[in-house]
Structure 1
């Protein structure tokens, strides 16, 4: 059918990602004022410390994959470049689901584009990217290989203006802080090298979730708006210093609570996938935090001071920033760091790092969301799976 073919070749776009990237670049402040020479020196130092951190990751994790990371790359970027890279990756992640729906149900995809268009425009996504681009210190993107010319093993981006801004704000030793940050980010790079199947597994799960959302065009926009209203209501309570109906200032973003991403997923299958991805992200972030915190003064001389000031920093955010973070689910992501780190430490304490490293062997060894909160259950399952 000619109409179906033309839609399949050029499926409707739910978001104008080029507009999102350009909007983010316009809205985002440039960062700390530095001379060209200072910028070059900082970039070179970040590259050097990124390389140096890999050996520490290898020693702490025992993952031999750290010895060969040639399939991935490290970039030191500014905020605008980070926004552009993420806009391109988001589009690439959504594209397979859009193309599949365009082949099977072109009219439904057209309906989805119409329903979502008033809610998720390129300008609005650009504003979100702009906020995030001034907060992210580093990011490992395993999905950039979907892009033309993208490295097969993924890409680590260190956002130089943000690293420098935070180290100045905390008044800590720049080289120590940069190495500390690199330890966390390089751990993500090593994780995907140790589990080469993980990228495709996550792509498959994200694809199913994306396809499910797009296919439910008749209710997606309504559910998105309901979630947004619930988050905003909780955010108003936060600005006023009060608590919401659940009795907790953070309950609006607890998985499964009112006004969360999970409210967009109504089918049991979608909720199960979302739960699985939450567990995987908790594992990855928690493991990286454990590595980050495993170093002592022999590696990062001022690490104790850095930890104390960095942890205290999150408690000093203003009400407006706390509201924005809640609306965007960043507080929920912060809990992934905490929950995942507790899981990793509990497992390592009981069966050692070698026992924990079973998690990278195959997808069946990934913890469930329940096991993240109950490490003994994961350990028991791993014992039972041994021949």
Structure 2
């Protein structure tokens, strides 16, 4: 179901990750510690201890600190996603995977020692504090609406604001806080690294959401009088929006990689069910309505795998890949939702029962169509680019 691995090292890693997830992680899917707000801290620790023992902790970052290419990363992360618990176990999950990537690109050596090292080892989790409540007219899909402020008072920054849907904040030890640092003339933002927990960063509520795969769930956060030194600034002051772009394109693509794995597994389960189950004198798969749904699944999965690899190649060329990652996120999230929906339909009552992982995959992928930018926002952005190119006369159709 996956495209071939691009290199020998990625093939070896992908094979090991797949075997580990299928044989070791999958049995934990029914563990009672896997709750509505994600796996508990002790379940995360247990899974990661097993991953370390297997030599598979953070497999996309090599022992010398070198990252796999995006194309190689795709081969590995697709396999890690074969269970919703797979990325948690091997430390390829959101938001940590994106945060580690950003810190590796932007953080100082001291910041890497203090924050990145413990994330890479899987001994700590992180949270990215950007999204703000809609009722406050805060930043969501439009980051320029950022309301959280950071004021320089003496030699410290004082940060105040409200955040929401902050993944993994409950239990995180590393925080990246996005806040406005402009003088009011033009919206500018900076990022700040914070040790967690911190009394000035309060979890108001862990929200009940449709998905349940990420440790700590998604929280509403109040930041009140958070004081951090100048050394807490990630990179340079006022470059928060620029750094967000460095993080967002690869992070969007990583979501596609992981959920392709999960939906591939859902398809395997649905296909096995349709082959085993009989109705009206023959196997379900022999009924055209069912067989065609599974055939459509195969097409959507293969197209998704190819689009992920295409976008990964663009990122590996050195491009930010903003347009390509938007296209891929839209196409893959919509295609994977269609596949997950068909899997539920093929399995009938079994597909909506929590006795099967298919039900959870359906919920997770439905949320994915919103997370990291809703489909409509990405299409709007693409349409603006199409308009700009057309108005500049670069489209030659009809000449």
Do they fold alike, i.e. is TM over 0.5? no
Question: 1 or 2 for the larger relative contact order (CA 8 Å, sep ≥6)?
Answer: 1
Q: Name the TM-score, length of structure 1 as normaliser.
A: 0.31
In terms of fraction of residues, the more strand-rich structure is 2
Q: Name the TM-score, length of structure 2 as normaliser.
A: 0.30
